[in-house]
Amino acid sequence: MSNIKILNDASESLAILVDSKGKFAYIGDHSGAEELMSSSGDSEAVRILDSNGGIAIPGFVDGHSHPVFAGDRVHEFAMKLAGATYMEVQQAGGGIMFTTNKTREASEKELRSDFEEIAKKMLRSGTTTLEAKSGYGLNVDAEMKMLRVLATENPSIPLEVSATFCGAHAVPKGSTEAEQTRMICDELIPQIESEKKMGNLTNVENIDVFCEKDVFEVESSQKILKRGQEAGMAVNFHAEELKYIGGVEMGARIGARAMSHLEEISEEGIRLMSSSGSVAVLLPSTAFILRLTPPPARKLIGNGVIVALGSDFNPNAYCFAMPMIMHFACVTMKLSMPEALTAATLNSAHSIGRGKTHGAIAKGRNADFVILSANSWEHIIYRIAAHDDVIRHVIKNGNVV
């Protein structure tokens, strides 16, 4: 072992050692840490971070976001407050198509720089891994541009991204559901496949569809998702948000790794998610903003469904702070605080295929964690929009961000 680092030097409390690959090597008392360090024989490489008796929790894994976009939709908030529904805002020229037009006009450089600003803020609020979707391009050029932004690594911003191709986010004016479905299956997915073969876009791991009445119905959603599966992507999609159409039943049938939203999920859907092991990614800020009846989180948990949380950060629901998302989940969906923390870490890691490597403080896992300054960890959820005061350090792969 080399380059191990000891965190939390307060002699009474826990010591954490991280190895040179950025994995947890030891979690335990100080004497055990000292022993391991002296036996590793590489004391030179040891760096000490004194966390002053802070509390360590896993870094947050945000299970659902749309963080690459251009344009401003603040005006829609007033429309929604005045009673307009999500679909009414879209029909009035707002929503996904508004953002798509702005995103098509923006350069790749502008999108990258805006995303990097958001990524820095996400890291500061404790998110160390992010599921992030395309879906504001909706044609070949603009979707590929978004995926390239999501695939770009910037060592100074170590947010880990599991990218999701969401070319089926809306049907643009002048096109039809069938035409979009054909374009996605016959042009876009093959292009992603060939980029991947050349070693590009390697983090494009998931395929998504906004499976919703009057957007992509169950049949075309299934076609797109299965085509994505053939290309090696895991199925992780928007289902039963506004109207029940049987998307979950379809998702369970084709082996979806995760499904999001689920405000309108059926009893049968709950049963199928439980037996198939598909993760329910719940998005409390969206249900809150759109004044939707929240998804039946207690019923999902009671039936053994794995429940995860996502920020759904997008121009409709402008919140990327997972502490706030956990707070919403506790109040509006009746999760307990330990359930919310598990949903925002281990379970959301599982929703993006990282359930064995991320999302927990355990030997061998990625050393992604947050050190809190508070007398109990619950302060990170309890304090409304005041998490900045609670977060002392954010650590990704063993490095303080």
**314 forms part of the interface with ligand NIG (CB under 6 A):** yes
**210 forms part of the interface with ligand NIG (CB under 6 A):** yes
> What is the residue type of 136?
Y
Instruction: Return the residues of window 247-286 that contact ligand NIG according to CB under 6 A.
Output: 286
Picked from Fe ion, ligand NIG, none, the partner binding residue 143 (CB below 5 to 8 A depending on kind) is none
For the bound state, the minimum distance from the C-beta of residue 190 to Fe ion, rounded and expressed in Å, comes to 25
Beta strand residue intervals within 143-189, DSSP E: 160-168
For the bound state, the minimum distance from the C-beta of residue 55 to ligand NIG, rounded and expressed in Å, comes to 32
Q: Which of 234, 289, 291, 299 is nearest to 265 (CA)?
A: 299
Interatomic CA distance for residues 100 and 397, integer angstroms: 34
Interatomic CA distance for residues 85 and 208, integer angstroms: 23
Residues 6+ positions from 328 with CB-CB distance below 8 Å: 284, 285, 288
Instruction: Return the residues of window 64-83 that contact ligand NIG according to CB under 6 A.
Output: 66
Instruction: Return the residues of window 310-329 that contact Fe ion according to CB under 5 A.
Output: 312
The binder of ligand NIG chosen from 96, 161, 349, 371 (CB under 6 A) = 96
> What is the residue type of 43?
S
**99 forms part of the interface with ligand NIG (CB under 6 A):** yes
Part in contact with ligand NIG (CB under 6 A); list of ranges 22-30, 91-99, 291-299, 337-345 = 91-99
The binder of ligand NIG chosen from 180, 316, 332, 348 (CB under 6 A) = 316
Interatomic CA distance for residues 85 and 29, integer angstroms: 54
Count residues binding Fe ion (CB under 5 A).
1
Residue 135 backbone zone (phi > 0: left; psi -120 to 50: alpha; other: beta): left
Count residues binding ligand NIG (CB under 6 A).
13
> What is the residue type of 75?
H
Beta strand residue intervals within 138-257, DSSP E: 160-168, 204-211, 234-239
- Using CB under 6 A as the criterion, what x/- string covers residues 220-239 for binding ligand NIG? ------------------x-
The binder of ligand NIG chosen from 240, 241, 249, 368 (CB under 6 A) = 241
Q: Across the strands, what pairs with 207?
A: 165, 235
For the bound state, the minimum distance from the C-beta of residue 311 to ligand NIG, rounded and expressed in Å, comes to 10
Picked from ligand NIG, Fe ion, none, the partner binding residue 315 (CB below 5 to 8 A depending on kind) is ligand NIG
- Using CB under 6 A as the criterion, what x/- string covers residues 18-57 for binding ligand NIG? ----------------------------------------
Classify residue 278 by its DSSP letter. Answer: -
Interatomic CA distance for residues 214 and 22, integer angstroms: 46
DSSP characters over 71-123 = S--HHHHHHHHTT--HHHHHHTT-HHHHHHHHHHHS-HHHHHHHHHHHHHHHH
For the bound state, the minimum distance from the C-beta of residue 5 to Fe ion, rounded and expressed in Å, comes to 37
For the bound state, the minimum distance from the C-beta of residue 78 to ligand NIG, rounded and expressed in Å, comes to 15
Interatomic CA distance for residues 255 and 278, integer angstroms: 7
Part in contact with ligand NIG (CB under 6 A); list of ranges 195-203, 248-256, 273-281, 309-317 = 309-317
Chain residues binding Fe ion by CB under 5 A are: 312
Chain residues binding ligand NIG by CB under 6 A are: 66, 95-96, 99, 210, 238, 241, 286, 312, 314-317
